[in-house]
Amino acid sequence: MQEEYMRSKTLFGAAAVVVMGLCATVATATEPCGDFGECKVLIEFNTTDGDIGFHFLMDGDDLNSARIDDQFGATIFEDFATGALLEQKLTETFAESAEPVCRNKLKEEPGETVVTLEEFLERWADGPYFFFGFSDDEILLGDTILTHNLPAAPADLDFDGSVISWAAGDDLGECATKKQLDKLFNRGVLPLHPEDVMVDAWEVVFEPDVEDGDPLGKLKFTIRIAGDIATKAVTVPAEYLADLPDDTLAKIEVGAIGGEDNATFTEIFDICVNETPAGCE
């Protein structure tokens, strides 16, 4: 295993030279990517809560271990199978970072970590990220691109009892107003203003708003639709709503998904489904 690790460091140097030389012509992650069935890195915002996360996915066959390096050669993730999992092998690995809030006013506790949008973008530099997978007899190599093209947060979310509607936004909700984003764009921190980032898809999620571990929380309605739809609205199936218990509190998420899978989500809460005279809690 150590030999594989050190050999891959050498291979990384060669791969980095090749990919960096080509990265100006690479616009999005490739699926499949190199020897992997899939690999990607992306940025995700919850613009209602004001938190930011880094997510990644890799999919390769029969792996003993896997690793991700950034464009500077620093390893940001390693995963090793042991025991029964080493016998069974790894395939798909998905993970996401912790999601610190982006502004001091959003802290719920005095010691809570705050990472501003600008600090986050400096931490997770745009450019190529390199994936390595180690099996019994080969090393898998792949690469993908992280961009700082961040689609604006969906705005004006509404639910009329059957239809979820929204509008295209022009900011990042709690993380940055349009005026703040204008400044970041003018300083070159952002390559595109979020309102100018094309939305490839809208993701809509309707789910009961319950405590973790409550089985009712698994009853979600989720759909992705094309980003260029003229009327931004989705009808929640009546059969789904009817199956929820009386006086069920629910929440709705709508996400703008960019071409590189960067995503910004907006939420609304305290929707009362199948309300009785007693009402929702």
Per-residue pLDDT tens digits for 111-162: 899 999 999 999 999 999 999 999 999 999 999 999 999 999 999 999 999 9
User: If you search the block for the tokens 């929204």, which residue do you land on?
Assistant: 166
Residue 110: pLDDT band with limits 50, 70, 90: confident
pTM (2 d.p.): 0.85
> What six digits make up the tokens of 103?
């502004």
Which residues pair with residue 165 across a beta bridge?
Answer: 158, 233
Q: How far is CA 266 from CA 23, 190, 192, in A?
A: 32, 21, 20
How far is the C-alpha of 47 from the C-alpha of 30, rounded, in Å? 27
Residue 15: pLDDT band with limits 50, 70, 90: very low
How high is the pLDDT of residue 31?
A: 60
How high is the pLDDT of residue 274?
A: 94
How far is the C-alpha of 27 from the C-alpha of 29, rounded, in Å? 7
Least confident among 61-70, 102-111, 135-144? 102-111
- Report the phi/psi class of residue 89: left, alpha or beta, with left for phi > 0 and alpha for psi in -120 to 50: left
Check pLDDT > 60 for residue 8.
no
Q: Is residue 140 within 8 Å of residue 199, measured between CB atoms?
A: no
Q: How far is CA 29 from CA 55, 210, 255, in A?
A: 14, 36, 20
How far is the C-alpha of 37 from the C-alpha of 133, rounded, in Å? 11
For residue 172, which of 45, 32, 37 has the smallest C-alpha distance? Answer: 45
Q: How far is CA 47 from CA 6, 98, 127, 174, 176, in A?
A: 41, 15, 24, 5, 9
**DSSP annotation string for 81-121:** --HHHHHH-EEEEEEE----BSSGGG-SSTT--B--HHHHH
How far is the C-alpha of 214 from the C-alpha of 42, rounded, in Å? 30
Q: Is 207 exposed, middle or buried (0-12, 13-18, 19+ CB in 10 A)?
A: middle
Least confident among 6-10, 108-112, 141-145? 6-10
Check pLDDT > 90 for residue 275.
yes
How high is the pLDDT of residue 74?
A: 97
| Cβ atoms within 10 Å, residue 264 | 28
* Mean pLDDT value across residues 64-90: 96
Mean of the per-residue pLDDT values of the chain: 89
**To the nearest whole percent, how much of the chain has pLDDT over 70?**
89
> What six digits make up the tokens of 64?
């003993």
**To the nearest whole percent, how much of the chain has pLDDT over 90?**
83
> What six digits make up the tokens of 37?
């069935």
Q: What pLDDT, in 10s, does the model give residues 211-249?
A: 888 999 899 999 999 999 999 999 999 999 999 999 999
How high is the pLDDT of residue 1?
A: 44
Q: What pLDDT, in 10s, does the model give residues 175-218?
A: 999 999 999 999 999 999 999 999 999 999 999 999 888 999 89
Residue 28: pLDDT band with limits 50, 70, 90: very low
